[in-house]
Structure 1
Amino acid sequence: MMNGALGAMVVESDPYMPHPEECSADSTLSVVVVGASGDLARKKIFPALFALFYEGMLVENFQIFGYARSKMDDEAFRDTIVETLTCRIDAGEDCGKKMDTFLSRCFYQQGQYDDATDFQRLDARLSVMEGSLCSNRMFYLSIPPKVFISAAANAADQCASRTGWNRCVVEKPFGHDSASSLELSQALGKHLQEDQIYRIDHYLGKELIENLTVLRFSNLIFEPLWSRKYIRNVQVIFSEDYGTEGRGGYFDEYGIIRDVIQNHLLQIVALFAMEPPVSLEAEDIRNEKVKVLRSMKPVEMEDVILGQYTKRVSKAHTYPGYLDDDTVPQNSITPTFAAVAMFINNARWDGVPFLLKAGKALNKRGAEIRVQFRHVPGHLYRSKFGADPDAATNELVIRIQPDEAMYLKINSKVPGLGLRIENSRLDLPFHEERDRELPDAYERLLLDVVNGDKRLFIRSDELEAAWDLFTPVLHKIEELQAQPELYPYGSRGPVGAHYLGAKYNVRWGDLSYSGNGSSKS
């Protein structure tokens, strides 16, 4: 009899069946990408799996199955994914041979997400491939939320390994608000145990995000500074220099707050602001993140600025506005930009504004954390910086993308006669210092799933706490039909974002200072 939970299925007539999670070293790995014909699977998941194989990170006995509704055979499937595969330049192995070997391990099974019989056929093919080896299975649900439950249920009831572990990766969005998120979690919980669910937020796999805990907890100089005593404000900024352009149908259902701020940026805040965990074990780190989220005030309407980009015409090109996208409903008021002020009500961060900003069709692409420190009390060199005190602000910048880097802005004397002070950078550019390409976020996160490491994945109570912070204001925005402030494609965004910063005596750090002695950041 099978109880319907992945990896927890037992056959009563066979008391000697190996307990799940107890595979010996002689085992096989099966990765099933559900939604294999979609863009995410082709552009991110399969290239990440190939990179892991190319670097020797996968077990010797593995196979990869694509599962989707599209009609394809194995060869056609391989043809669709081979175009996106690339080799690591530093691995020193024949790229063509490695690619051929990888593709020979890739197979395709056509089927519906809500059809148990189709999943039984998939299970039969997997069993043939795995043979008598203890089998571990990973299911990656790269599909819309409306079919999550049926796909997860069929994977659990029809397609789970009886001898090894079973893990299910779920892509965001994890619901639309607190109620829908809870409903989704409860539905998944009927088929999956919590330790088998890997809610993936690819931003947590970025090199510089994982470096956050290393920066704080292995460098003595930072931990004493990491509090309201020395930090004036923290900014988490995400910007894209392109709009929806044909993909607005999906985006319009969610908007920029649900798409970026409530998950990516809030997760960064939780990692940044958490207390030192008792260990680096996944549950200890996630416990501290939950404490941060539960200490935060729910977002107020007056602490939110909304924007939507409009058409811009230049001599060389016409940049379409959000409403010019044919996939976007006419007269949509869905925000493509938002700035939010948040606060953490605990002893370490009381009174420190955390400003989060995200937008599409802005003047540049990037993502960064900016930590602005307090002004020097009784600053002896105040006169050297003119009337702008922010020009002398020490600032720690963690650039997540592009060109990953960390640097600290300090004040120093310009060499030569006289006394001139400039804002200089102590810089750690990751690409220049290292002669190898940094792994993609999906590579790191998929390897973590294989290894059972859940540090960078979101727990159900963590997800609940995150939604509790944003659900009231999201409902208020919808109730009031709040009109977004318009901003032209390629600009720095709505003017209202500057007023929000000024309300808390904050100047956005991604804008260059123009005061004396300052430098571009």
Structure 2
Amino acid sequence: MQSGSWTCEKRSNLKDESIPIESEGVPESGSAVLSIAVLGALGDLSTKLIFPALFNLYRQGFLQSSEVYIFGYGKDDVSDKEFRDHIYKYLIPDKAPSSEPPTADESKFLQLVKYIYGSNDEEKGFWLLDKVIAEHEVSKNRVGGSSRRLFYLALPPSVYPSACKMIRHYCMNKSNHGGWTRIVVEKPFGRDLDSSEKLSAQIGELFDESQIYRIDHFLGKELVQNLLVLRFANRFFLPLWNRDNIDNVQIVFREDFGIEGRGAYFDENGIIRDVIQNHLMQIFCLVAMEEPVSLNPEHVRDKKVKVLQAVLPIEDKDVVLGQYKGYTDELTVPDQSNTPTFASMILRIHNERWEGVPFILKAGKGLNSSKAEIRIQFKDVPSDIYKSSKVGRNEFVIRLQPSESIYMKLTVKQPGLEISTMQSELNLTFAERYQGVVIPDAYERLILDIIRGDQQHFVRTDELKAAWEIFTPLLHRIDNGKMKPILYEYGSRGPKEADELLEKAGYVQTHGYVWIPPSF
């Protein structure tokens, strides 16, 4: 910790009108100094995801050492060297521990990192953070340059209001030459509609919507970002993407492991709050939304909100909840916990494009595989002279993780003298097609979007409200014990009732067909 006396004038009104909220859209320039402050800098999110993402942006040339400085802010009193040594171990994910000295790139990056000790709700630490950021801006800035300040809140949501007050009061951009201040907040954004609205109001009193970036890392994944391109840049999808041709849509997130020591967090939230209400609903929006007027972030987000507002209330008969056996044996999980580790549900959209098409959202832990995918199943072929429905329906599948792929299941003639049909696929496996191309991490993309001021892949306040309006009644019924999860075996497909729900929704299972990613 840096030594030195601390003096500061206290003010009762933290939204001091003498500190203007700057407008966005200030042109980026080579003379714009960038300061990135990561709050909660010693936590797992920061050390394992945010700092590696910043390092990758640096070594790819997106962060210029002549303009950027990175500040770790936390409540542990460690030196700059101790902090740099700590994050060095994680700069390259999956890198084996080594006693080797840092590479040239790693060394240069680490020299751009400084640690500030302070609490998330006390003036002293934020006064000091502002002081060292200002010193950096003065030392780096050229005449006429602007200053950019990015605050990443890698903190529990309960701390957001107090940390935002401190930032708003002490750490705003003060450049006379333009620039901006932006804050980044992570999910969960509340527990239900009321808590989300309260949190949004508290932050909204301090910052404009244009300054707030609610990050959902699923929106940074390669194939999630491909969705709008696939839908609106390919002629043959445009006439098919509707209720006349599509029978049902599945959006699936599966993990073959349990809560892994996150008992207190997970039991407070459950699989719906942790995965479905945010990650899967973001994908749902991109699959179901209408075409925006342009790629302007507000045009895209307007269409996402519109489709959320068309979702009908979720009925209990369209929901299956599960809890893997042994969940209540986990540390910090109550013996009588009603928290679901698995949920499958049907969403229905009341609009012209999707009326009658069930969207099945399914997520679970402790299952027999790990994957995230979108599976769009088309209706049977009318007047099916080849009886192709016996071998399965056409499907369009987007595998988000692992083995990022896009493939179409279709009926073809079996090789040979007989006229018989089978299912095969047209396949685009990214690792095979784009050999040597490194797919960026989701956090890299999203942090770069924040620096550029592109909010397309971030959650807007009204979008957040619309999503919570869909799920809050269901979550309250679960929280009040009116709906109970079904026990299922760890390492299984989940409750058998989930497969029955899938069948009820109209999904036709293809028996005997297994998609195998190409080997190369």
**TM-score computed with the length of structure 1 as normaliser:** 0.90
2:270 matched to which residue of 1?
A: 255
Q: Residue 464 of structure 2 aligns to which amino acid in structure 1?
A: L
Q: How far off is 1:436 after superposition?
A: 1.5
3-state SS of 2:448 partner? helix
1:130/1:423 CA distance change after superposition, 3 Å: same
Corresponding residue to 1:171 among 181, 186, 208: 186
Q: How far off is 1:375 after superposition?
A: 0.3
1:22/1:453 CA distance change after superposition, 3 Å: closer
2:133 matched to which residue of 1?
A: 126
Q: Residue 145 of structure 1 aligns to which amino acid in structure 2?
A: P
Whole-Å separation in 2 of the counterparts to 1:55 and 1:187: 37
3-state SS of 1:260 partner? helix
1:77 matched to which residue of 2?
A: 83
- Pairing 1:264-413 to 2, within 5 Å after superposition: 264-310=279-325, 321-382=326-387, 389=389, 391-413=391-413
For the pair 1:162 / 2:200, whether they are aligned, the reply is no
Q: Deviations over 1:50-69 (max 9, x none)?
A: 00001111234101111111
Whole-Å separation in 1 of the counterparts to 2:287 and 2:17: 34
1:180 matched to which residue of 2?
A: 195
Maintained 8 Å contact 1:65/1:109: yes
1:107/1:282 CA distance change after superposition, 3 Å: same
Q: Deviations over 1:474-499 (max 9, x none)?
A: 11122234221111111100111012
For the pair 1:414 / 2:414, whether they are aligned, the reply is yes
- Pairing 1:460-475 to 2, within 5 Å after superposition: 460-475=461-476
Corresponding residue to 2:46 among 41, 49, 55: 41
- Pairing 1:1-12 to 2, within 5 Å after superposition: 9-10=19-20
Q: Residue 92 of structure 2 aligns to which amino acid in structure 1?
A: T
Whole-Å separation in 2 of the counterparts to 1:296 and 1:95: 52
Maintained 8 Å contact 1:408/1:427: yes
Q: Residue 45 of structure 1 aligns to which amino acid in structure 2?
A: I
Maintained 8 Å contact 1:63/1:105: yes
3-state SS of 2:173 partner? coil
Q: Deviations over 1:176-212 (max 9, x none)?
A: 0000000000000111111100000000100000000
Whole-Å separation in 1 of the counterparts to 2:94 and 2:329: 40
- Pairing 1:407-446 to 2, within 5 Å after superposition: 407-434=407-434, 435-446=436-447
Q: Deviations over 1:189-242 (max 9, x none)?
A: 111111100000000100000000000111001011000010000000000111
1:313 matched to which residue of 2?
A: none
Maintained 8 Å contact 1:168/1:197: yes
Q: How far off is 1:324 after superposition?
A: 1.7
Q: Residue 78 of structure 1 aligns to which amino acid in structure 2?
A: R
Count of residues paired in the alignment: 491
For the pair 1:514 / 2:490, whether they are aligned, the reply is no
The worse-fitting range, judged by mean Cα deviation, of 50-59 and 125-134 is 125-134
Maintained 8 Å contact 1:423/1:519: no
Whole-Å separation in 2 of the counterparts to 1:207 and 1:46: 20
Whole-Å separation in 2 of the counterparts to 1:344 and 1:106: 48
Maintained 8 Å contact 2:23/2:180: no
Q: How far off is 1:421 after superposition?
A: 1.3
Maintained 8 Å contact 1:239/1:367: yes
Whole-Å separation in 1 of the counterparts to 2:233 and 2:128: 50
Q: How far off is 1:117 after superposition?
A: 1.8
For the pair 1:139 / 2:140, whether they are aligned, the reply is no
Q: Deviations over 1:151-198 (max 9, x none)?
A: 111011111111221110000000000000000000001111111000
Whole-Å separation in 2 of the counterparts to 1:4 and 1:372: 53
3-state SS of 1:392 partner? coil
- Pairing 1:46-125 to 2, within 5 Å after superposition: 46-59=51-64, 60-86=66-92, 96-125=103-132
The worse-fitting range, judged by mean Cα deviation, of 136-145 and 126-135 is 126-135
3-state SS of 2:484 partner? coil
Q: How far off is 1:258 after superposition?
A: 0.6
1:14 matched to which residue of 2?
A: none
Maintained 8 Å contact 1:7/1:165: no
3-state SS of 1:279 partner? coil
Q: How far off is 1:327 after superposition?
A: 2.2
Q: How far off is 1:514 after superposition?
A: 2.2
Whole-Å separation in 2 of the counterparts to 1:18 and 1:502: 52
Whole-Å separation in 2 of the counterparts to 1:415 and 1:360: 40
Maintained 8 Å contact 2:255/2:365: yes
**TM-score computed with the length of structure 2 as normaliser:** 0.90
Maintained 8 Å contact 1:5/1:192: no
Q: Residue 175 of structure 1 aligns to which amino acid in structure 2?
A: G
What RMSD, in angstroms, separates the aligned Cα atoms of the two structures? 2.3
Whole-Å separation in 1 of the counterparts to 2:409 and 2:291: 25
1:213 matched to which residue of 2?
A: 228
1:4/1:428 CA distance change after superposition, 3 Å: farther
Q: How far off is 1:27 after superposition?
A: 1.5
Q: Deviations over 1:385-427 (max 9, x none)?
A: 5xxx363200000000001000001111122211221101100
1:452 matched to which residue of 2?
A: 453
Q: Residue 130 of structure 2 aligns to which amino acid in structure 1?
A: D
Whole-Å separation in 2 of the counterparts to 1:463 and 1:519: 37
Maintained 8 Å contact 1:204/1:267: yes
Q: Deviations over 1:126-154 (max 9, x none)?
A: 11112162210100011001111101110
The worse-fitting range, judged by mean Cα deviation, of 363-372 and 295-304 is 295-304
Whole-Å separation in 2 of the counterparts to 1:27 and 1:276: 35
Maintained 8 Å contact 1:28/1:136: yes
Q: Residue 103 of structure 1 aligns to which amino acid in structure 2?
A: L
Whole-Å separation in 2 of the counterparts to 1:118 and 1:460: 29
Maintained 8 Å contact 1:30/1:136: yes
Maintained 8 Å contact 1:177/1:467: yes
Maintained 8 Å contact 1:274/1:289: yes
1:457/1:70 CA distance change after superposition, 3 Å: same
Instruction: Structure 2 unaligned segments of length 5 or more: list them.
Output: 1-8, 96-100
Whole-Å separation in 1 of the counterparts to 2:338 and 2:110: 45
Corresponding residue to 1:222 among 209, 231, 237: 237
Whole-Å separation in 2 of the counterparts to 1:300 and 1:307: 17
Whole-Å separation in 2 of the counterparts to 1:208 and 1:370: 13
Whole-Å separation in 1 of the counterparts to 2:248 and 2:16: 44
1:329/1:23 CA distance change after superposition, 3 Å: same
Maintained 8 Å contact 1:6/1:196: no
